[in-house]
Structure 1
Amino acid sequence: MNSRIVSLALAAFLLGGCSLIPAYERPAMPVAAQYPEVPDSGAQPVASLAWRSFFRDPALQPLIETALRNNRDLRVATLNVAAYQARYRIRQADLLPQVTADASGSRQRLPADLSPGGQANTEGQYRVGLNMSYELDLFGRVHSLSEEALQQYLATSQAQRTVQISLIANVANAWLTWQADQQLLKLTRSTVDTYQQSYQLTQRSADVGTATLLAVRQTETLLREAQSRYQQYLRQVAEDRNLLVMLLGADLPAGSQMAAQAPSPLSEIPVGLPSDLLNQRPDILQAEHQLMAANADIGAARAAFFPRISLTAAGGTSSSELAGLFNAGSGSWLFAPQISLPIFNAGSLQASLDAAKITRDINVARYEGAIQTGFREVSDGLAATATHRRQVEAQQQLVTASNEYYRLAEARYHTGVDSSLTLLDAQRTLFSAQQGLISERLAERIAAVDLYKALGGGWQG
């Protein structure tokens, strides 16, 4: 009899697999074929450019490694992937027959007034066997639910990649900001010392009548402003460090507290075409998998209109005595198919199908929106990197000119040609230009990091 059960299970399994899931077609890209004013470079996709190759700073790489090990947001995203993987395995198990081995036994004493023979007696019943249950998936309901779970699992894995890319970019931006603020702090400290000397010199000159009170107050104004900026940068450096610690999920590695220095250059970014985003930006891939999951839900909703056929079978041995379980003639079997056909449900099945179709349409809009967002972010990043590069060059020229202006003003002041007001203006102009150069260099590097992130890079080690 066990061979009959196996044969029935195999036949039911082979009959299953019909799917009512609509044929999936990827929606057309709702963006231009090329980025504004950027021709196709023909380079490799940025997703193949590992973050270690892009972020070449030897001081930054250990920080990214620490964040990837310890960051709590990334840990939650990883656990979500594991949870959806388990849910998919549960749905996969529903495609196969469920077989259990059971053993049961009971003894019962009936009093004389309840016994059919009018005498008290004791009865026993024992059973050992295999039980099988299986839904014959003729219309693909179980298969559709399994496909939906698979696509949700794949979508969650892409969400994990999104978190990882964002984490790497955030660590890099926080590190670059920390370095820039340290440079600003060092520059401001030097400027405060210079203004302090100028203030003391102007004060002594006013005491002997060679400088006016206006010059003293103007010099003091510059000094107090620089001192205020110094405290501001002290606060920013501390906040930058705290942000890094939070992103890393641990304290900074030994040796990270270093003097301000110019960071290592970033690699060139291969841009490619907007169509590359479909295969490299994880948020777009996540949206597409969610769209495919919604498409599979339509198949499950359609299958609900058709009969559900369940097969239950059991085979084993039974006896009234434990010692007689395996005697000849003690075999037993059961085969109980069941069919359930929906007749009246007040329109709930149609409503479920309508809801599944609407959900699919919503996910189409989300998918198209993800593409448009990615296209805009890349376009903005390209514009930012190009203009920041030219702005850094212009700012560098401004620093050179301001430095020459300060040198000439200082020489003319010491020879008595110009007043201290010209020298003060030159000092203020040079300080402002130097601050602007540090800030603009930081903006250029952050724009490059954001473009790398927008193109879908950063998830490979």
Structure 2
Amino acid sequence: MLPRITVIALSLLLAGCISLDPKYQRPASAVPGTWPGASQHGAAPVVLKDWQHIVNDPRLKQVVERALASNRDLQKAITDIDAARALYVEQRASLFPSLDAGLDVTRSRTTSNGVSTSASAEGTVSSFELDLFGYNQSLSRAEKETWLASKYTAQDTRLTLISETTTAWITLAADKSNLALAQSTMDSAAKSLAITRKQHDVGTAAATDVSEAQEVWQEARASVASYKTLVMQDKNALDLLVGEPVPDTLLPDELSKLANNSIELVPAGVSSTVLLRRPDVQEAEHNLLSANADIGAARANFFPTISLTSSAGVGSDSLSGLFNHGLKVWSFAPSISLPVFSGGKNLAQLHYAEAEKKGLVATYQKTIQSAFKDVADALARRETLDEQMDAQRGYVAAAQKTLELAQKSYQIGSGDYLTVLTAQRTLWSAQESLIALQQTDFENRITLWESLGGGLNNNAH
């Protein structure tokens, strides 16, 4: 009966132990309650949908799914969760006694008694420490918070992976557009060069016109080679993010051929409290909670520890009669240890834990401030992006018209070829700027979604 009584008594003592952890209060976020320029009235609610509801292009969806399944950084983050959970379970085991069972048999021979056999069976509670002041429970809470922080680390890695994969896919589409534009410009310049050479042969064009036409053609030719390299490098970068080669059928077309809603635009709402749901912010808070529990453990070091070693069992002169009529045996050896002098070690450990917590408070607040800046920057870019794109489209149309007029003037002999050359380069530059803005538009959408924390609170897989 002793083992059962002992375990019950220990459980009661455990239930009555105290915690020396400081009372936790979430630090102030240290950011405004609303985004810069946001109105308090009539704002759309925050939409935190997972990526499947944000990414609409079916090819891009498949690419992201492949990345979530095969990316090595995400796999490493997931294994870190398992490792942190194992450490938590290991630490939590210290809250319970260790029960061991053993069977010993001794056979001996003496000149007086001949051969004799003795046996004993024993159950042992080995050196169990009563957690009266919550030392082990504080350590267990600290490991649990570290484990939970690792889960949010993995969520943040997942969120970043989705954003980076989408951005890499869009970058590939943009460079394909730039390659197509350079190829078109080179083809057009080649035709102009051929025409100019013929005009020079019949005496209607100067030699400088031929050399200037060749300049544009060579410039476009160099751009074609450069963008071919970029497209191949973009594909390599996408393969690395995905963790496996992406089939050509899942690669994007030119940027202009993508639907405008290939990536949805997420309304940001007005409240910055949404940042508390970001995985990196939650990770920082769980690290802070872990440090808070470490302070409790450091405080508990100043109090005495009580350890118990007990055993109970049966003994018999013969193995066959061990559990029938064996003699009951037991032992109980409690011990108490009171810290008297440790050279300031316990006090130093407490000061260290308190300093760690102060540092993590600052880290938590800085994480929220950085998150606020991410969203504010994305919203600031969004505010003027549509107007800038509309203006750039108008600029491209005007540059196209200028080139056409310059070519007509040159053909009828009222204009010079330098004007045609300038107009051609202006149009090319305007078209490249429009492609860059279209790329920024898509990237800004995914950046805004990521900055708001994505939809990971609804789906953390």
Mean CA deviation greater in 402-411 or 359-368: 402-411
The 1:125/1:11 distance shift into structure 2, 3 A limit, reads farther
**Distance in 2 (alpha carbons) for counterparts of 1:193 and 1:239:** 24
Partner Cα separation in structure 2 for residue 450 and residue 178 of structure 1: 17
CA-based RMSD of the aligned residues comes to: 2.0
Question: Is 223-232 or 82-91 further displaced after alignment?
Answer: 82-91
- In the alignment of these two chains, the number of paired residues is 452
CA 1:336/1:407 → structure 2, altered by over 3 Å: closer, same or farther? same
Counterpart in 2 of 1:131? 124
Instruction: Give, as a single letter, the amino acid of the residue that structure 2 aligns with 1:350.
Output: L
Could you tell me which residue of structure 1 aligns to residue 435 of structure 2? 438
In the TM superposition, 1:292-441 aligns within 5 A as 292-441=289-438
Matched, 1:256 2:250: yes
Give the distance between the partners of 1:247 and 1:458, measured in 2 at CA.
21
Structure 2: stretches of 5+ with no match in the other structure: none
1:21-40 equivalent positions in 2, closer than 5 A: 21-40=21-40
Tell me, in whole angstroms, the C-alpha distance in 2 between the residues paired with 1:7 and 1:423: 96
What is the TM-score when the length of structure 2 is the normalising length? 0.93
Cα deviation, 1:205-249, whole Å, max 9, x if unaligned, reads 222222112111111111111111111110110011001100000
Deviates more, 1:128-137 or 1:7-16: 7-16
Cα distance 1:257–1:363, how it changes in 2: closer, same or farther (>3 A)? closer
Q: Secondary structure at 2:152's aligned position in 1? A: helix
2:211 equivalent in structure 1: 217
Q: Residues 298 and 273 from structure 1, CA distance in 2 versus in 1: closer, same or farther, beyond 3 angstroms?
A: farther
Out of 183, 186, 197, which is 2:180 matched to?
Answer: 186
Going from structure 1 to structure 2, the CA distance change for 1:254 and 1:428 (only over 3 Å counts) comes to: closer
Q: Structure 1 vs Structure 2: percent identity of aligned residues?
A: 36
Q: Distance in 2 between matches of 1:132 and 1:124?
A: 27
Q: Is the 8 A contact 1:176 1:263 kept in 2?
A: no
- The amino acid across from 2:280 in the alignment is D
CA–CA distance in 1 between the matches of 2:363 and 2:252?
A: 45
| 1:25-84 CA-partner distances (Å, limit 9, x unpaired) | 1111212222111235654434x3111111111111000000000000000000001111
Aligned to 1:152: 146
Give the secondary structure class of the aligned counterpart of 1:337: strand
Shift of residue 258, structure 1, vs aligned partner: 5.3
1:116 aligned partner: none
SS at match of 1:220: helix
In structure 2, the partner of 1:280 is 277
Task: State the distance in 2 between where 1:86 and 1:278 align.
Answer: 30
Structure 2: distance between partners of 1:108 and 1:274:
83
Q: Secondary structure at the match of 1:94?
A: helix
Say which SS state the counterpart of residue 75 (structure 2) adopts.
helix
Q: Which residue identity is paired with 1:276? A: T
The code of the aligned residue for 1:152 comes to T
Tell me if 1:142 matches 2:146. Answer: no
Whole-angstrom CA distance in 1 between matches of 2:352 and 2:193: 75
**SS of alignment partner, residue 150 of structure 2:** helix
C-alpha displacement of 1:140? 0.4
Q: Which residue of 2 aligns with 1:74?
A: 74
Distance in 1 separating the partners of 2:51 and 2:417: 52
- Report the more deviating stretch, 391-400 or 2-11: 2-11
3-state secondary structure, aligned to 1:60: helix
How far apart in 2 are the matches of 1:42 and 1:91?
A: 48
Deviation (angstroms), 1:339 = 1.2
- Alpha-carbon distance change, 108 to 277 in structure 1, aligned in 2, over 3 angstroms: farther
TM-score by length of 1: 0.93
* CA contact 2:172–2:252 (8 Å) conserved in 1: no
Contact map agreement 1:130 1:315 (CA 8 A) in 2:
yes
| Alpha-carbon distance in structure 2 between the residues aligned to 1:225 and 1:352 | 67
How far, CA to CA, are the matches of 2:301 and 2:116 in structure 1? 46
Given that 2:59 and 2:251 are in contact with CA atoms closer than 8 Å, whether structure 1 keeps it comes out as: no
Q: Hey, what does 1:115 align to over in structure 2?
A: none
Q: What does 1:52-201 correspond to in 2, within 5 Å?
A: 52-107=52-107, 124-133=117-126, 134-201=128-195
Q: 1:123 to 1:308 in 2, by over 3 A?
A: farther
Instruction: Note if contact 2:169-2:238 (Cα within 8 Å) is conserved in structure 1.
Output: yes
- The residue aligned with 1:230 is 224
* Maintained 8 Å contact 2:177/2:254: yes
Deviation of 1:370 (Å): 0.4
156-165 or 245-254: bigger deviation: 245-254
In 1, are the aligned partners of 2:62 and 2:250 still within 8 Å (CA)?
no
CA distance in 1, matches of 2:361, 2:8: 43
Any stretches of 5+ residues in structure 1 without a counterpart?
113-118
1:277/1:374 contact within 8 Å kept: no
